[in-house]
Amino acid sequence: MPEPTLRKPLTPPPINPAFVAYPGQIYILTKGGYYLSAANGGGLDTNDAIQTEIKYSAGLVVGPYLQFTLWRDTTGRFAFQTYSGNFIRAVDGGGLTTDVLNTNAPDIAVWEEFRIALVGGQPGPFPISIQTNTNNFLTAVGEGGKTTNAIHSDATKVQDWEIFFLRKAGDLGSGFQYFIVPIDTQQAIAAKNGGGLTQNTLQLYGQNGVHLSWARFNLILQPNGSHAIQTVNGNYLTAVNGGGLDYGTTQTDNIHTDATVAKAWEQFTFVDRGDSTYCIQTVSGYFLGKRTYGGSAEGEYSTDISDINAATKFWIVPANFL
């Protein structure tokens, strides 16, 4: 796993030198589909500094108050930085139902430290829990939809209200690992056998025989600002002919996973739509999406979509620590 990189400029810089920032930002959503937002962009010492009133809707463009910079240390502790540059603090380290979180911490100390864990047995792509320094869990009261009393920190086990989801925004960096989740299926794309194929190349995680590792992709930044999508076995995704193919043939797919070097056909641009989703564009300017004729089978995508509004939208989920 590559080391996270510092985000500059920061106001103010964190005092704790053990923590470094991941590139770009994240959104945090409740199980009910509501975004966590920092009122006023952060910097508040009030019980309602974190709210959950805005619900995800396809195409709804959301602002920076719903975005957080994720920081991590080498032991797996995390901190969440608001738009103002301050950090989310679990008052008393957790265990509260009032005066639970504030957003005026200028640096990272123990009350600003959280742990993130993948939660099994829950619907949705890669549900997580967020644990405080007191080993309690954050609760989105009512699964979200609140401007007051939105968050508690006294839960001792993970149930529905303690389920959250992370979605990427902005810069994806280079060498970081992500799950790529089409929002229409809500199942991550996986490279069959971990890559190395020219036919039946992609599957969906959750299907029989699909390993979680096959759904992990490293995004390698290219000199032109695009990314190469690297499979778990070190190969790269290829848009055959650089894109522009609605489907493959009986012998070969229009997307391969056997390239050993990232050249032009292995370059993809991740277009941030501003609504917590991305579209994926090939080097020839086409987008990934459903086939023009007959839709798409499991793991199969057209590379011939010219209109971004017709392209498939993807959630990009950080996978390095899940």
Within-domain flag for 8: no
- Span 30-52, average pLDDT: 96
- Model pTM score: 0.93
pLDDT value for 14: 54
pLDDT value for 278: 98
Average pLDDT, the chain: 93
Please indicate, yes or no, whether residues 160 and 183 belong to a single structural domain of this protein. Answer: no
Please indicate, yes or no, whether residues 183 and 290 belong to a single structural domain of this protein. Answer: yes
**pLDDT tens-digit map of 286-309:** 999 998 877 777 788 999 999 999
pLDDT value for 10: 46
Of 140, 168, 196, which closes a domain?
168
Angle (nearest 5°) at CA 219 between 107 and 185: 100
The b-or-e profile of 138-152 (16+ CB within 10 A means b, else e) is bbbbebbbbeeebbb
- Span 216-244, average pLDDT: 98
3-state secondary structure of 193: helix
pLDDT at 15 over 80: no
Q: How far apart are CA 257 and CA 180, in angstroms?
A: 15
pLDDT band (50, 70, 90) for residue 7: very low
**What domain range is 124 assigned to?**
20-168
pLDDT at 1 over 60: no
What value does the CA radius of gyration of the chain take, rounded to a whole number of Å? Answer: 20
Please indicate, yes or no, whether residues 150 and 260 belong to a single structural domain of this protein. Answer: no
**pLDDT tens-digit map of 191-201:** 999 999 999 99
CA distances to 112, 271, 316 from 77, rounded to whole Å, are: 10, 30, 21
CA 257 to chain centre: 22
Within-domain flag for 36: yes
How many structural domains is the chain composed of? 2
Instruction: Tell the burial category of 301 from Cβ atoms under 10 Å away from its Cβ (0-12, 13-18, 19+).
Output: buried
pLDDT at 19 over 90: yes
Closest C-alpha among 229, 227, 226 to residue 216: 229
Please indicate, yes or no, whether residues 306 and 256 belong to a single structural domain of this protein. Answer: yes
Beta carbons of 45 and 105 less than 8 angstroms apart: no
CA distances to 85, 113, 216 from 73, rounded to whole Å, are: 18, 10, 22
Q: Which contiguous run of DSSP H or E holds residue 88?
A: strand 87-90
